[in-house]
């Protein structure tokens, strides 16, 4: 097995020891068999799904998070996306955060995985429905830094944690809000 795959599985095992949410634990249990069965799990061409990396970006006071109104999915979400073959998922999450927000002064709060979420992506055009095995990292940025909306977003906004559910009531975001508090 490749060193990057062994490291990712070790990171996921370490993270699994901290997970208390049964829904998240059930999703996490799907990661190991998927990663070991699919040599191409880092690429979006992998079917039935692929690994992705997300950035849960918060302010220093841990009162707000940066969300994007995703253009294709038409939902407010954390920033992140495809890893495009990069086995360093944390650096992929940082890259996505910078590309999607224009932020340059983003720092990693912890080296460990913050959250995982396995979710279906609907079919669109020639792309069939598939799974995203999302690995999420906790990052910090300054809300006064200028934001730049990318082509992947309709809008970016710093949102108070108490108001995240108004924009997106999903359990996925609610779980990250709880962890932030």
Dig out the tokens for 17 from the structure: 């020891």
**pLDDT of res. 8:** 97
Look up tokens 């990052």; give the residue. 139
Structural domains of the chain, count:
1
Query: Per-residue pLDDT tens for 28-72?
Result: 999 999 999 999 999 999 989 999 999 999 999 999 999 999 988
Would the pLDDT of 162 be above 90?
A: yes
Q: How far lies 73's CA from each of 95, 121, 169, 171, in Å?
A: 20, 9, 15, 17
Give the confidence band of 118 by pLDDT, cuts at 50, 70, 90. very high
Name the least confident of 25-29, 119-123, 129-133, 154-158.
119-123
Dig out the tokens for 131 from the structure: 């799974």
* 8 A C-beta contact, residue 148 and residue 115: no
Q: Which residues contact 37 (CB under 8 A, 6 or more apart)?
A: none
**pLDDT of res. 124:** 87
Would the pLDDT of 169 be above 90?
A: yes
CATH of the domain at 16: 3.90.79.10
* Containing structural domain, residue 151: 3-180
Would the pLDDT of 152 be above 90?
A: no
**pLDDT of res. 1:** 85
Look up tokens 């997106």; give the residue. 168
């Amino acid at each position: 097995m490749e060193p990057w795959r062994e490291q990712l599985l070790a990171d996921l095992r370490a993270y699994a020891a901290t997970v208390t949410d049964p829904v998240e634990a059930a999703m996490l249990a799907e990661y190991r068999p998927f990663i070991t069965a699919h040599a191409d799990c880092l690429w979006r061409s992998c079917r039935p799904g692929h690994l992705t990396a997300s950035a849960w970006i918060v302010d220093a006071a841990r009162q707000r998070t940066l969300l994007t109104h995703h253009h294709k999915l038409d939902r407010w979400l954390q920033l992140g996306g495809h890893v495009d073959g990069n086995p360093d998922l944390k650096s992929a999450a940082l890259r996505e955060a910078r590309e999607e927000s224009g932020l340059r002064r983003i720092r990693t709060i912890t080296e460990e995985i913050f959250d995982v979420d396995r979710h279906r992506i609907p079919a669109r055009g020639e792309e069939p429905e598939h799974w995203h095995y999302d690995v999420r990292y906790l990052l910090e940025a300054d809300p006064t830094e200028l934001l730049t909306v990318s082509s992947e977003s309709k809008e970016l906004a710093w949102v108070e944690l108490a108001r995240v559910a108004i924009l997106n009531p999903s359990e996925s975001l609610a779980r990250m809000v709880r962890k932030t508090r």
